[in-house]
Amino acid sequence: MAFFLQQLINGVTLGSIYGLIAIGYTMVYGIIGMINFAHGEVYMIGAFVAVIVFTVLASVGGMGVVGGLLLVLIAAMAITAAYGWSIERVAYRPLRRSFRLAPLISAIGMSILLQNYVQLSQGARIKPLQPIIEGGMILMDRGGFAVRLSYIQIFIFLLTLALMAAFALIIAKTPLGRAQRACEQDRTMAALLGVDVDRTISLTFVVGAMLAAVAGVMVTLYYGVIDFFIGFLAGLKAFTAAVLGGIGSLPGAVLGGLLIGLIETFWSAYFSVEYKDVAAFAILVIVLVFLPTGLLGRPEVEKV
């Protein structure tokens, strides 16, 4: 029981990170019907920004942990927001009225470009980070096995919940959220009613990039090592989470992220760690066989 509880804590932590990245995928798909395959690299850039800013702060000194974390989050979100806006302007907007595969190919090219750009500018070696948030609490001690809940895990839980609640309020209560919902239903009609569609889509990319940046900061704090390739695999798993939960559904993206994190963690704990990715994708296939739109997805009705 103690071992199960420990893996549950670890799985929810990992799933929270996947869920934040998956929201970016599902938002873009919900509005323009396309997958932003460069989103994983935006997450990777957020992680590198965190390492760079933490290193600079350590050399300068004079700032506490809370202030340093706040500054790192602001810097990562601001820089990745610029990347998200640029990706939409360069890789998507010129091809929005082209055939459907053109933006997809453009996004894959942007992903490769960003990955190699970071490799050339930051090097191919692993970037370590000294622990910033240390310590934790013991929830249970059974037979010499202690169930630990670290402070960094608590921080990830609370920050994820706060961001989810804030984002739900943005979608439900703000003019941006209403514009996003209008564009999701019918972009042409939304434009006729005065909605600035281009601005709404750009802001959607920006918000998704900022959430990916938060995930990048959290994974850097949690694992303490990053490299230029982390965006590819994390982005692929977050995309899988979005599809599993129901592409286009924000609650589905979070649910899918949590499920992927739990599947990986429990499979690694009870079976072979080498096949944890196989297990996650196999369960995705099984779910889609019986629920083609995902767990919380809605059937897409084609407008004629």
What is the per-residue pLDDT for 34? 77
What is the per-residue pLDDT for 302? 56
What is the per-residue pLDDT for 263? 92
Taking 60 as the threshold, does the pLDDT of residue 247 lie above it?
Answer: yes
Confidence of residue 91 (pLDDT cuts 50, 70, 90): confident
Taking 70 as the threshold, does the pLDDT of residue 159 lie above it?
Answer: yes
Higher pLDDT: 145 or 56? It is: 56
Summarize the confidence of residues 23-36 as an average pLDDT: 82
Contacts of residue 117, defined as CB under 8 A and 6 or more positions apart, other chains included, come to none
Handedness of CA 217, 218, 224, 228 (dihedral sign): negative
Confidence of residue 303 (pLDDT cuts 50, 70, 90): low
User: In CATH, what number does 2-290 get?
Assistant: 1.10.3470
Taking 60 as the threshold, does the pLDDT of residue 150 lie above it?
Answer: yes
Q: Is 79 left (phi over 0), alpha (psi -120 to 50) or beta?
A: alpha
Summarize the confidence of residues 122-139 as an average pLDDT: 88
Domain map (residue ranges) of the chain: 2-290
What is the per-residue pLDDT for 153? 92
Confidence of residue 301 (pLDDT cuts 50, 70, 90): low
Lookup: tokens for 157? 């839980």
Higher pLDDT: 71 or 24? It is: 71
Higher pLDDT: 295 or 304? It is: 295
What is the per-residue pLDDT for 85? 94
What is the per-residue pLDDT for 299? 67
What is the per-residue pLDDT for 186? 86
What is the per-residue pLDDT for 151? 92
Summarize the confidence of residues 108-119 as an average pLDDT: 93
Spatial separation of the C-alpha atoms in residues 24 and 46, rounded to whole Å: 14
Taking 60 as the threshold, does the pLDDT of residue 171 lie above it?
Answer: yes
What is the per-residue pLDDT for 79? 95
Taking 70 as the threshold, does the pLDDT of residue 182 lie above it?
Answer: yes
Q: What is the Cβ-side half-sphere exposure of residue 158, based on CA atoms within 13 angstroms?
A: 6
Q: How far, CA to CA in Å, does 162 sit from each of 192, 241, 298?
A: 35, 20, 26
Mean pLDDT of the chain: 88
Q: What is the DSSP letter of 264?
A: H
pLDDT tens digits for 205-245?
999 999 999 999 999 999 999 999 999 888 889 988 988 98
Higher pLDDT: 7 or 172? It is: 7
Percentage of the chain modeled with pLDDT above 90: 38
What is the per-residue pLDDT for 300? 62
Provide the b/e sequence for 68-87 (b: ≥16 CB within 10 Å).
Answer: bbeebbebbbebbbebbeeb
Token pair 């042409």 is found at 188
What is the per-residue pLDDT for 92? 86
Taking 60 as the threshold, does the pLDDT of residue 289 lie above it?
Answer: yes
